[in-house]
Amino acid sequence: MKNNYSRILIIPVLLFCLLLASNGFSFQQESTSNQPPQAEQNIGFPVLGAFQDTLFTVYSRLGSLTAEERAKRITERIQKLATNPRYVADSLQIEELENGYDILYKNEIIGTVTQQDIRDDQYDIHSLAIAVRDVINQDILNYQEENKVEAWIKRISLALLAILAAVLIFILIHKATHRLVHWVSSKGSRVFRDLTYKGYTFLTSDQEKGLTIQLIKILRWILVLILLYLLLPILFSIFPASEDWSDDILSWVLNPVSRIFESTLDYLPNLFSILVIIIFMRYLIRFVRFIFREIELERLQVAGFHPDWAMPTYNIVRFLLLAFTLVLIFPYLPGSDSPIFKGVSVFVGVIFSLGSSSAITNMIAGLVITYMRPFKPGDRIKIADVQGDVVEKTILVTRIKTPKNEIITIPNSSVLTGNTINYSLQAEGQGLILYTSVTLGYDIPWRKIHETLIEAALATEYIEKDPKPFVLQTSLDDFYVSYQINAYTKQPNKQAIIYSHLHQNIQDCCQKYGIEIMSPHYRANRDGSDSTIPGGEGK
The average confidence (pLDDT) of the chain is 80
Beta partners for residue 109, in sequence order? 104
Helix (H) or strand (E) holding 248: helix 243-296
Q: List pLDDT tens digits, range 154-184.
A: 888 888 998 999 899 999 999 999 988 888 8
Q: 507, 517 in Cβ contact below 8 A?
A: yes
What domains sit in the chain, N to C, each tagged with a CATH number? Answer: 45-147 (no CATH), 360-422 (2.30.30.60), 432-524 (3.30.70.100)
Q: 233, 7 in Cβ contact below 8 A?
A: yes
The pLDDT value recorded for residue 530 is: 53
Looking at the predicted structure, is the pLDDT value of residue 4 above 60? no
Give the Cα separation of 46 and 347 in Å (integer).
53
The residue type found at 329 is I
Between these two residues, 429 and 284, which has the higher pLDDT value? 284
The pLDDT value recorded for residue 38 is: 42
pTM: 0.47
Range of 363-377, 428-442, 514-528 with top mean pLDDT: 428-442
| Mean pLDDT across 140-153 | 79
Q: What are phi and psi of 92, to 5 degrees?
A: -85, 105
The pLDDT value recorded for residue 6 is: 39
Between these two residues, 394 and 197, which has the higher pLDDT value? 394
Percent of residues, the chain, with pLDDT higher than 90: 25
Query: What are the helix (H) ranges across 83-148?
Result: 125-146
Looking at the predicted structure, is the pLDDT value of residue 231 above 50? yes
Give the Cα separation of 438 and 450 in Å (integer).
11
Instruction: Please enumerate in sequence order all residues whose Cβ is within 8 A of that of 293, keeping only pairs 6 or more positions apart, or say none.
Output: 310, 314
Looking at the predicted structure, is the pLDDT value of residue 149 above 50? yes
Output the DSSP codes for 91-109.
Answer: GEEEEE-SSEEEEEETTEE
The pLDDT value recorded for residue 355 is: 54
The pLDDT value recorded for residue 470 is: 96
| Mean pLDDT across 459-477 | 93
Helix (H) or strand (E) holding 485: strand 481-489
Which pLDDT band holds residue 347 (cuts at 50, 70, 90)?
A: low
Q: 420, 483 in Cβ contact below 8 A?
A: no
Percent of residues, the chain, with pLDDT higher than 70: 83
Taking each helix axis as running N to C, give the angle between helix 243-296 and helix 205-238, from 0 to 180 degrees, rounded to the nearest 10.
150
Which pLDDT band holds residue 41 (cuts at 50, 70, 90)?
A: very low
| Mean pLDDT across 484-499 | 93
Which pLDDT band holds residue 24 (cuts at 50, 70, 90)?
A: very low
Beta-strand relationship, 54-58 and 92-96: unpaired
Q: List pLDDT tens digits, range 368-417.
A: 888 888 888 889 999 988 999 999 988 889 999 998 999 999 998 888 88
3-class state of residue 166 by DSSP: helix
Give the Cα separation of 523 and 443 in Å (integer).
11
| Mean pLDDT across 52-81 | 85
Between these two residues, 406 and 148, which has the higher pLDDT value? 406
For the ranges 65-74, 78-87, 195-204, 314-323, which has the lowest average pLDDT?
Answer: 195-204
Which pLDDT band holds residue 131 (cuts at 50, 70, 90)?
A: confident
Q: 474, 484 in Cβ contact below 8 A?
A: yes
Residue 62 DSSP label: B
Instruction: Please enumerate in sequence order all residues whose Cβ is within 8 A of that of 370, keeping only pairs 6 or more positions apart, or say none.
Output: 309, 312, 393
Q: List pLDDT tens digits, range 412-438.
A: 888 888 888 999 888 888 899 999 999
3-class state of residue 312 by DSSP: helix
| Mean pLDDT across 511-532 | 66
